[in-house]
Structure 1
Amino acid sequence: MSQKAATPSRERRIKRLCVRLGLHLMTAQKPDKNVLAHGGYMLRDAQTMKIVFGDKDYLFSADIDEIEDYLDTLG
């Protein structure tokens, strides 16, 4: 699913889950061609500010489904 196909309510629900898990959901503000083709999201640890998911090969490489799947493994 592309970033445009992600509904705002789905993003809000994921952001709430991230807060409970001590993470920040980050979205690409100026996506490059890689991000536009696949991705647009990253997860960052709220305390250390280190990227924990979505930076494989390039920044914001995870799509919304991958973020959701990753969070499911944590929660």
Structure 2
Amino acid sequence: MIRRDYENGIKKKTVCADGCIANLQLASGILYAHEDRTYQGYDITVGFVEEPAFEGFPNGASIRVMKLQDRAGI
């Protein structure tokens, strides 16, 4: 009985660890350098100047704000 409880505990931990690894792999492939939001009639885009962004290389932040009515003709 004790051995079966021990094996079930190991199985649960293994399944949990596998799930965490799968989530990390999926999340690492879905990284966006820009994010768009609409707020009170404005379209706001925030991101990096150089893509992809690497640690140790020069880069900067990019913030663009446009009125939604200005984009109507696009």
TM range (shorter): under 0.3
Greater Cα radius of gyration, structure 1 or 2: 2
With normalisation by structure 2, the TM-score equals 0.27
Relative contact order, CA 8 A, sep 6+: which one is greater? Answer: 1
Larger strand percent: 2
